[in-house]
Structure 1
Amino acid sequence: MNLLNKSLLHLSVWLFFIIALWSVFFYFNMLNEIKESVDEGLDNYKRQIIYNVAKDSTLLDKNNFEEGFFAIRQIPKDKSIRIKDTYIDTLMYMQDADDEAPELEPVRLLGTAFENKGRFYELKIINSMVEEDDLVEELFREAVLLYLLLIAAIILLNRFVLRRLWQPFYSFLNQLQHYRVGSSKHFPEVKTKTQEFTDLQKAVHILLHHNVETYEQQKQFIGNASHELQTPLAIATNKLELLIEKGNLDTEQAGNIAEIMAIVERLVRLNKSLLLLTKIENKQFLDNKTVLVNEIVNQSVNDLEEIAAFKNITLSVDASAELTTEMDVSLANIVVSNLLRNSIFHNIENGTVAITISEHSITISNTGIPTPIDELQLFTRFHKSETHSNSTGLGLAIVKAICDLYGFRLSYRFEDNLHYFELRVN
């Protein structure tokens, strides 16, 4: 979840609770205001009835609500003293003009007591709450609708505002994702007056400037190392070859020189592998093109056929589809070549190597030792099997570094006494 959506999520949750609490408060407050208004009306009716009873004693005969909206009955003095004005909600049978028979309707009832000519009476006054209940229900629906509209409006408004607010950040982030040390000419820039974003730009520029300097120093070191190491190794190889060509060496001396030449050749291979690995990690291979992996596999098989034939190893290719990807052609050749060489060199006499190509992956299976290999050590630098001590131990490490560079998935498994290396490019 990106920062914009996460901000909106937190904002929406808090708004939901805050406005929900406000809506509840608003609803009950309006309900209380309506009841207070009704109670004021009942209190006014009470004063009028008491005043009219003093003039017209026949009103004291209204003992039930069938004759009007109030009822009076005589009570003892001690009971009247205990009666206080009370307002309650209740239900009573009432018949409106559009009702065929009396129905239970909500009413607001005021209970009180008064004195008239030395006698004490209990007075009950009712006021129908049908209209008020309809009003409360309508208020409730309006409050809910207002609540939903308010939530939606605030979220949409904040999304628009936040999107505009964070737009410079996302633009800067997009530039940063496409920036490549050594190939991009300009640093990412953000056009905004927001202080935090300008501070972020300054910090990123400092880091990128440092990375560019380090990158250039590494490139220079790689070039110098390549020249300084390869030249003396080539000279040593040539001199050893001249000694052997003179032919005035005995068998023991010739054997010692051959061992030295093998060591020098191993140093040459190791130097080349380390330089290649460093270039890969520094992303110095940026000539990406559309590569047809099938062609590279066929070329590598042709190049390694003689080595495989020498060990009586059968090579087979099963291509059910064309596998293409965007990468540097030289690195694609290294990946396929190193995987095939690994499968041949770590094979057994009369073994097999099978290459399967699908639309999204290439799988290489080979016979070999009848036990699985630890995958964590398999792609580790300088990891070598005991039977191939002359190996540099960097072949699969280079393959793994190239896969990491392009986001490919390289995996190993052991099934049915076969070692499988699967490379998924899509």
Structure 2
Amino acid sequence: MKLLNQSIKYLSVSIFLIVTVWSAIFYVNMLDEIHDSIDDGLDNYKLLIIKRTEDDEQIFEQKDFEEGNFTIHEISEEEALGMRDYFTDTLLYMENEDDLEPVRMLTSAFKHKDSYYQLTVFNSTVEEDDLIEDLFYSIIWLYLILVVSIILINNVVLQRLWKPFYALLNDLKSFRIDKESPLPKINSDTKEFKELEEALNSLIIHARETYSNQKKFTENASHELQTPLAIISTKLELMLEKESLHPENVENVGQILQTIQRLTRLNKSLLLLTKIENKQFADNKSVHFNQLVNQSVEDLEDFASFRNVEIAVQKTADLYQNMDESLASILISNLLRNSIFHNVEGGKVQVKIKENSFLVRNSGKGKALDNSKIFDRFQKETTNNSSTGLGLAIVHAICRLYGFEVKYSYDGEHCFEVKMGKGF
């Protein structure tokens, strides 16, 4: 989830809880105020009736609610003295209405001359109930409008606030350390964004310097190591051609020469791997893998014949991919060479080209390889010194550079499949 959406989510939940509590408290307070207003009216009405009893004895004949909103009943002194004013909510049948209506009732006691009376007065709360209902729905609508408005407003505000951050993020996605592109900038006066820009630019400058130094080292190492190795190999070959060399020395020189040749191959592979990981191959174009497979099979035909291995190519589609052609050739060549080298006498290698992938299948030892280590550097399934242990590591590095997927499986035969583009 995006940081913006997370901010809005937490803010929305907080607003939801706050507004919910506020709405409940507001509703309860308003309900209490309405009841207080009704109760005050009943108190005033009670006092008016008690005052009328001093001038009008007919009021004491009001025994039910048919002729008014109050009743008076004579009670004992003991009952009157133990009675306190209290309010109740109930339902009464009104003459002008067909149904029972809600009312709020006040029951009290008073003394007139030497007698004690119970006075019950009521007031219809139909309008108040309607008011409370309208108030309730008004609060609900206000609540919904308020929450939605706050969320929308905050969404707009937060989007504007985080806009420089997402602009910087897009710049970083397109940023390439090997290109002389300008440093990313944040168009904002926010202190944290400015600090982020400074820290990021400092990191980029340091990374560029490191990349430049590493690139120079790779180029220098390629030249400085290959030249002396070539000179040593040449001189050793000249020594082998001399007839005066003792047989034991010939054998020793031959072993040294093989070691030098292996060191040369290892140096080339390590330099290639470093260049791939540093993304120093940028000459991308549409590569026709069918042609490259044919070329690699032709180049390795003598090697396959020497090891008595048969190569078969099956093409079900034309496979094109935008990448560096030299790396595409190395990718195919390493997989084919690996399948031939680790095969058995009289074995087979099958190459199958599909629309969005190709696979190399070969016979070999009757057990699966360790899938967790097979693409590691210097991981070898053989003790043969002619292998550098970097072939599959280079394959994996090339696939990772272009976003391909390389997978190994074993079903009686060893199979390496490289999936590209829409084939994922």
Tell me the TM-score range normalised by the shorter chain.
over 0.9
TM-superposed CA distance for 1:318, in Å, is 3.4
Other-structure match for 2:395:
399
TM-superposed CA distance for 1:250, in Å, is 5.7
Other-structure match for 1:38:
38
Per the alignment, do residues 109 and 218 of structure 1 end up closer, same or farther by CA in structure 2, a change over 3 Å counting?
A: same
Aligned residue runs from structure 1 range 47-196, under 5 A:
47-97=47-97, 99=98, 103-196=99-192
Per the alignment, do residues 288 and 108 of structure 1 end up closer, same or farther by CA in structure 2, a change over 3 Å counting?
A: farther
Aligned to 2:417, which of 416, 419, 422? 422
Q: Secondary structure at the match of 2:66?
A: helix
Counterpart amino acid of residue 55 in structure 1: D
TM-superposed CA distance for 1:287, in Å, is 2.4
Aligned to 1:390, which of 381, 386, 402? 386
Deviates further, 303-312 or 5-14: 303-312
- 8 Å contact from structure 2 (residues 318, 354) kept in 1: yes
TM-superposed CA distance for 1:299, in Å, is 2.8
Per the alignment, do residues 131 and 296 of structure 1 end up closer, same or farther by CA in structure 2, a change over 3 Å counting?
A: farther
Counterpart amino acid of residue 60 in structure 1: F
Other-structure match for 1:374:
370
Per the alignment, do residues 320 and 23 of structure 1 end up closer, same or farther by CA in structure 2, a change over 3 Å counting?
A: farther
Give, in whole Å, the separation in 2 of the partners of 1:360 and 1:11.
46
TM-superposed CA distance for 1:228, in Å, is 1.2
Other-structure match for 2:6:
6
TM-superposed CA distance for 1:413, in Å, is 2.1
Per the alignment, do residues 356 and 130 of structure 1 end up closer, same or farther by CA in structure 2, a change over 3 Å counting?
A: farther
**C-alpha distance after superposition, 1:354-402 (max 9, x if no partner):** 2333344333222111111112221111111235332000111111222
Other-structure match for 1:280:
276
Gaps of 5+ in 2: none
Give, in whole Å, the separation in 2 of the partners of 1:86 and 1:150.
39
Q: Secondary structure at the match of 1:115?
A: strand
Aligned residue runs from structure 1 range 213-362, under 5 A:
213-249=209-245, 251-362=247-358
Give, in whole Å, the separation in 2 of the partners of 1:16 and 1:369.
66
Give, in whole Å, the separation in 2 of the partners of 1:108 and 1:363.
88
**Could you state the TM-score of these two structures normalised by the residue count of structure 1?**
0.93
- 8 Å contact from structure 2 (residues 262, 385) kept in 1: no
Per the alignment, do residues 326 and 86 of structure 1 end up closer, same or farther by CA in structure 2, a change over 3 Å counting?
A: farther
TM-superposed CA distance for 1:313, in Å, is 2.5
TM-superposed CA distance for 1:323, in Å, is 3.7
Q: Secondary structure at the match of 1:381?
A: coil
Deviates further, 296-305 or 3-12: 296-305
Gaps of 5+ in 1: none
Q: Secondary structure at the match of 2:300?
A: helix
Per the alignment, do residues 16 and 324 of structure 1 end up closer, same or farther by CA in structure 2, a change over 3 Å counting?
A: farther
Aligned to 1:199, which of 195, 199, 205? 195
Give, in whole Å, the separation in 2 of the partners of 1:411 and 1:95.
90
Per the alignment, do residues 126 and 381 of structure 1 end up closer, same or farther by CA in structure 2, a change over 3 Å counting?
A: same
Per the alignment, do residues 290 and 90 of structure 1 end up closer, same or farther by CA in structure 2, a change over 3 Å counting?
A: farther
Other-structure match for 1:21:
21
Q: Secondary structure at the match of 2:378?
A: coil
Deviates further, 314-323 or 16-25: 314-323
Give, in whole Å, the separation in 2 of the partners of 1:325 and 1:11.
47
Counterpart amino acid of residue 308 in structure 2: N
Give, in whole Å, the separation in 2 of the partners of 1:250 and 1:92.
132
Counterpart amino acid of residue 235 in structure 1: I
Give, in whole Å, the separation in 1 of the partners of 2:361 and 2:113.
116
**C-alpha distance after superposition, 1:147-180 (max 9, x if no partner):** 1111111111111111111111111121122211
Give, in whole Å, the separation in 1 of the partners of 2:54 and 2:289.
111
Q: Secondary structure at the match of 1:158?
A: helix
TM-superposed CA distance for 1:89, in Å, is 1.7
**C-alpha distance after superposition, 1:229-278 (max 9, x if no partner):** 10011111222232334455465544433332222211111010011111
